Structure 1
Amino acid sequence: MDISTIEKYDSQKMYKVYDKWPEIARESFESNQKSIDFGNIDHIVFAGMGGSGAIGDTFSSILSKTKIHVNVVKGYLLPTTVDPNTLVITVSVSGNTAETLAILDSAFKKKSKIIAFSSGGKMLEYCTKNKIEHILVPQCHSPRASFTSYLYTMLKVLYSFLHIKQEDILESITELEKLCGKINSSNLNENNPSLDLAEWITGIPMIYYPFGLQSVAIRFKNTLQENAKIHAIAEDVVEACHNGIVSWEKKSNVKPILLQGADDYIKTKERWNVLEKYFKDNKIDFRKVSSNKGSILSKIINLIYLLDYTTIYLAILSKTDPSPVSSIDYIKQRMQ
C-alpha cells in the first residue's frame, strides 16, 4: 500500500478529506456559529438518512444517559408523540433527501420546534419560505465524508442547550488529532491500525457491539457497504448471545469483529470474555477493536474515524473506488 496505489483507485480523493478530519472538526466547532437555546424541550427527534442519519445515531448515544427522550428517524414518518414541545432536527448534507424533507414538512405542520442542517438544496428553500431555523454547512466530498463538519457544527449550535460539556467536545478533537497521526495516508505501515484491520478483513464482517456503541457499529456497517462495496452485519452482543451465536456452529466466510468500549457495563465485559473464549475454542478467527478512554463522544468519534479509514483502505486493497455509489443513485433516480 502506497499513495500511488490509493490515488489509482480513489478517483475522487476521499482519503484526503479523512486526513483532514481533525482539522475540519476543530474549525467547525470553533466557527462563528451561535449556540441556540430552544427552551423547554422534553423530546428530540433526529431525522436523516445514510451519512446524515449516522449523526442522529451519534447524538442519540451521547444523550443516552440524559433525561431527554430521543428518537432517530430514518424514513418518512414522525413518531406520533411529536408535539410543540418536541425539537425536530433534520439533517441532509445534499439538502435534497426525500425522506428527510417529508419529515421536515410533517414537523412544520405539527408546529414542533425545528432546526435544519444542510448544504442548501430543497431543504434551504423550504426553511427560507417557512422561516425555519436553518444552518448552512458545506459538503466535504460526500455525505459520509462530511461527518465531522456536520457533527461539530451541530455540537457548536446545540451543545449548550443539550448540556454537552465543552471540555468533552474539545477532548474528542484532541484525541482525533492523536489518532490521525496513526491512521492517515502518511503512515502506511504495520503500525497503522486502520490498515492492519483492513488487511485482515475477508468475507462478510460480523460487527458485535455493546450498548452505547450502536452508532459506531451502524456507521461501520454502512461505510463497509458504501466504500468497500461488501456485505456487512451488525448485532448487539447481548442479544446475539441469545440467538446469533448459534450460527457459528456451521463454517462460513463470516468474520467476527468485537467493538468494545473502555467503560462497558461489567456484565457486558464478562460476556466479551466468554465470547472470546468461545471463538478461540472453536478456532474462529476474530478481531477486537477497543475504544479509547474519555467521554462517550470521544469514544464514538475516534472509533468512527478509525473504522471509516479502515473501509477506505479495504476498498483500495480490493481495487475498488470508494467514492461512487452507483446503486444508491439507481434507486434515487427511480424514486423522484
Structure 2
Amino acid sequence: MQALEWLENMPQQFKKMPVEVVELSPYRGIVFTGMGGSGIVGEITAMFLERRGVDIPTLVVKDYRLPPCVKEGWLVVAVSYSGNTEETLSAVEEAVRRGSTVVSVSSGGKLKNVALQYNLPHVDLPQGFAPRYALGYMLSAVLSLMGMGDISQKMGEHLASYSSVIKEKAKELAQRLKNYLPVVYATPLTGVCAVRYKAQINENAKTLCHTALLPELHHNEIVGLDNYLTRQMCHFLLLYDREDHPRILRRVQITRDILQEMGLVPIELEGEGESFEERLAYLIYLGDWLSYHLAVLYGFDPLPVKSIDRIKGMLS
C-alpha cells in the first residue's frame, strides 16, 4: 500500500535543505499561508519562531484574503504541495499587489508558475506524494528558509530512532478508539498536534474527530460533558507538553480527573524527546500512524479523498 510506504519513510523527509535563509529583521511581520496538509506547516513554524524569540508578528492565514495589515514590509511564505490550491494562489496574488515580499514552496503547479512570472524565490519539493504525506518535505523547506534547518534534521533523526515504538503505540491506540468519536483535547504547545490528528483521522480513516484547546475548553466545552449519552460516544485524548504553563498542566490534571469521575478513561499523551521540537514531531508522527491504523480497522484505503475531489470539481 502506497500510504504505508510513505508513512514508513516519513522520518527521512526531515532534513536541512540547501536554500537561502531569509533574513527576518527587515520585515514588520510574517504571514504563512496554506491549506490542509500544507497549511499546518505555517502553524508549526510560527510556533517555533515564537519560541526562539522572534519579536515580529507571525500570522497563519487559511483563506483567500490577507489581513489589511499585511502590505509592503511584510514577508509572505506560501506553501501548497500541489501548487494548485486556490486559496493560497489568491493570497499570493494579493500579497504581490500589496508589495509584500513573497516566498513560495510547492512541487510545481500554478504556484511555481506565479513565482516564475513575478521572479519570486521558490523552493521545489519532490513530486508524487499526497500532500498530507509530504509534511516532512514541506516543513523542512520552510524551517530551512527560516534558518532552522538543523531543527528539522534533528526531528528526522529522532523520529527514525523512535519509529518502531511509535508504530506499536499507534496500533494500540487505534484499537481503543475504534467505534468511538475521537475527541482530542490539547494545550497551547500541542494544539498544532490536535489540528494534525483531526485532519489525518478525517482524511485517512474517513471518520469524524473533534478537537478543543485548554484553557478555553474550561470556559465552555467542559459543561457539554454533562450529557451522558453524547459523552459515551467519545474517546478522549489529552495531549500536553512538559513545557506548557504550570497552570495549563494543572488544567490537564483537572480535565483528566473530571473525565475519570464520569467513568471515562482518557488517554494522556506526551511526546518523547529531550527538546520540544522532538516531542512535537513524536506526537505528530504518532497521530499519523494512529490515523493509518484506524483506516485499516475501518476497512478504508487511506489515500482516496473523494469528497475533497468532488468539491474541487464543483468549484472548477
Q: TM-score, normalised by structure 1?
A: 0.88
SS at match of 2:294: helix
Partner of 1:48: 34
Tell whether the 8 Å contact from 2:187 to 2:215 is kept in structure 1 after alignment: yes
Q: C-alpha distance in 2, partners of 1:132/1:255?
A: 46
Compare 100-109 and 250-259 and name the one that shifted more. 250-259
Partner of 1:21: 10
Q: C-alpha distance in 1, partners of 2:25/2:217?
A: 40
Provide the identity percentage.
Answer: 27
Tell whether the 8 Å contact from 2:139 to 2:152 is kept in structure 1 after alignment: no
Partner of 1:315: 295
SS at match of 1:223: helix
Partner of 1:203: 180
SS at match of 1:64: helix
Q: CA deviation at 1:112?
A: 0.6
Tell whether the 8 Å contact from 1:17 to 1:140 is kept in structure 2 after alignment: no
Greater helix percent: which structure? 2
Q: TM-score, normalised by structure 2?
A: 0.93
Q: Which amino acid aligns with 1:59?
A: T
Superposition CA RMSD, Å: 1.6
Q: C-alpha distance in 2, partners of 1:239/1:268?
A: 11
Q: CA deviation at 1:299?
A: 2.4
Tell whether the 8 Å contact from 1:140 to 1:146 is kept in structure 2 after alignment: no
Tell whether the 8 Å contact from 1:25 to 1:152 is kept in structure 2 after alignment: yes
SS at match of 2:94: helix
- In structure 1, which of residues 260, 270, 277 is the aligned counterpart of residue 240 of structure 2? 260
Q: CA deviation at 1:25?
A: 1.3
Partner of 2:280: 300
Tell whether the 8 Å contact from 1:228 to 1:320 is kept in structure 2 after alignment: yes
1:88 aligns with 2:65: no
- In structure 1, which of residues 45, 48, 69 is the aligned counterpart of residue 57 of structure 2? 69
SS at match of 1:267: helix
Q: CA deviation at 1:181?
A: 2.6
Task: Write the mapping of 1:16-165 to structure 2, written as runs, cut at 5 A.
Answer: 16-26=5-15, 29=16, 31-37=17-23, 40-65=26-51, 66=53, 67-159=55-147, 164=148
1:244 aligns with 2:221: yes
Q: CA deviation at 1:177?
A: 1.3
Tell whether the 8 Å contact from 1:205 to 1:254 is kept in structure 2 after alignment: yes
Higher relative contact order (CA 8 A, sep 6+): 1
SS at match of 2:185: strand
Gap runs ≥5 in structure 2: none
Q: CA deviation at 1:84?
A: 1.7
